[in-house]
Amino acid sequence: MNEFNGLDSDKLHSLYRRLLLLRRFEERVYTNFLQGEIPGTVHQYNGQEAVAVGICDHLRPIDWITSTHRPHGHALAKGISARRVMAELYGKVTGCCNGKGGSMHVGDPSVGMLPAIAIVGGGNSVVIGLGLAYKLRRTDQVAVCFFGEGATNEGAFHESMNFAAVQRLPVVFVCENNLYGASTPYHQVSLVSDVAARACAYGVASQIVDGMDVLAVHKAGGGEAIALARAGRGPILLECKTYRYIGHSRSDARGYRTKDEEAEWKQKDPIPRLGNALIAAGLSDEATLARIAQSVEAELDDAVEFARASPDAAPEQALEDVYA
């Protein structure tokens, strides 16, 4: 059981199902986007699922997260239904933001997710306010900021890390280091190879985590970072080493990286990795995993059908919700 951090079979299967839900959701979005059903553009999360699932499993609806322009996985992992996320991508009034957010701004207060912030580094500065509110109110809430390694060259990252540190805020900064800021390799724009190393400049604890292993993320996130932040020990930076399988956005043909590199990372794919480990340990079998896959497909059939069948917003609603 050690390799599973003491997690029971139900929890492990639940993590497995969520990983699969995030992956298959993005695959549906890809197809339906290409078929012209989804307007705008989409930035997809394929490959990074272990990070959102491993972290969000420890969070309650009152523990808020901030997300990025690549937020579908965070939204699903935090508990927004596939229906409501999908409908938002379709721009429907039934979406989690009533069609006013779209792919880059999915979120929902009822599960504790701000509308995703599509400005790189934007979430870093807002999240400290969440942590400050929790501290001032003396609650045991924790705020989690998901951001990419690209954000760590933004001023917001540095100002926020420093502020969170001196105020000892209950904030967990989760860097999803997928190696590329759009098409630019991180190593080309930073001489510090590990994002985690930057934390020491602010007196913040940090840890490097295998972001392709949901159990590693789960352990580092829940057992350590989130628990410590909750206990009032101040902010922590987790650097999850991960990889996005697809391009930055749908117009990206990935000419800036090699097929070999992609293949190498896909060998670490978090989904078969957990599935195979469960089978090897005798905790699961092919049939069980197939049943989970079927139920995920059914949930996504329903989500797509819901999005397609949902009404458009009335045009005059565009003028509402500017002011409270």
Partner 1 sequence: MPETMQTVSLGATALPNVAERRLTIAEALREAIAEEMQRDPDVFLIGEDIGIPGGFGGAFGVYLGLPEKFGHERIIDTPISEKAIAGAAIGAALMGMRPIADMQYADFLFECMDELVNQAAKMRYMSGGKLKVPMVMRAPVGTTNRGAQHDQCPESFFMHVPGLKVVCVSDAYTAKGILKSAVRDDNPVLIFEHKLLYGSKGRQSAGGLDLTAHVPPEEYLLPLDKAVVKREGNDVTIVATHLSLYRALAAAEVLAQEGISCEVIDPISLLPLDTETLWSSVRKTGRLAIVHEDTLTGGWGAEVAARAADECLFSLQAPIKRIATYDVPLPFAPILEQAVVPTVERIIMTIRTMCE
Give the footprint of partner 1 on this chain (CB under 8 A): 64, 95-101, 105, 107-109, 114-115, 117, 119, 121-122, 124-134, 136-137, 143, 155-156, 159-160, 162-163, 166-167, 320-324
Q: Is 79 left (phi over 0), alpha (psi -120 to 50) or beta?
A: left
Host H or E run for residue 174: strand 171-177
DSSP codes of every residue in 237-291 = EEEEE---SS-SSTT---TTS-HHHHHHHHTT-HHHHHHHHHHHTTS--HHHHHH
DSSP state of 312: B
Residues 6+ apart with CB under 8 A from 198: 152, 157, 161, 192, 206, 237
Query: Hey, what are 182's tokens?
Result: 């759009």
- Smaller CB distance to partner 1: residue 75 or 271? 75
CB 62, min distance to partner 1, A:
10
| Contacts of 130 by beta carbon, 8 Å cutoff, 6+ apart | 64, 66, 141, 143, 171
Judged by DSSP in three states, 185 sits in strand
Closest to partner 1 by CB, 11 or 230: 230
**Shorter beta-carbon distance to partner 1: residue 102 or 270:** 102
CB of 41 to partner 1, least distance (A): 16
CA distance 159 to 309: 45
Task: Using the minimum distance from each CB to partner 1, give the nearer residue, 55 or 143.
Answer: 143
Nearer to partner 1, 263 or 322 (CB): 322
In the bound state with partner 1, the residue whose beta carbon lies nearer, of 91 and 270, is 91
| For partner 1, the closer CB: 12 or 114 | 114
Rounded to the nearest whole angstrom, what is the least distance from the CB of residue 80 to partner 1 in the complex? 12
Question: Closest distance between partner 1 and the C-beta of residue 97, in Å?
Answer: 4
Question: Would you state the structure tokens that stand for residue 288, as one six-digit string?
Answer: 């069980």
Alpha-carbon distance of 167 to 170, in angstroms, equals 9
Q: How far is the CB of 147 from partner 1 (least distance, A)?
A: 13
Q: Tell me whether residue 54 or residue 115 sits nearer to partner 1 (CB atom).
A: 115
Min separation Cβ 153 and partner 1, Å: 14
Minimum gap (Å) between residue 18 Cβ and partner 1: 24
Residue whose CB is less far from partner 1, 137 or 259: 137
Q: How far apart are CA 160 and CA 154, in angstroms?
A: 10
**Could you write out the DSSP letters of every residue in 92-154?**
BTTSTTTTSS-GGG--BGGGTBPPP--STTHHHHHHHHHHHHHHHTT----EEEEEEGGGGGS
Residue type at position 42: V
Please report how close the Cβ of residue 134 comes to partner 1 at its closest, in angstroms. 7
Q: How far is the CB of 226 from partner 1 (least distance, A)?
A: 18
108-114-119 Cα angle (round to 5): 135
Mind spelling out the 3-state secondary structure of 190-207? CCCCCHHHHHHHHCCEEE
Beta bridge partners of 177: 241
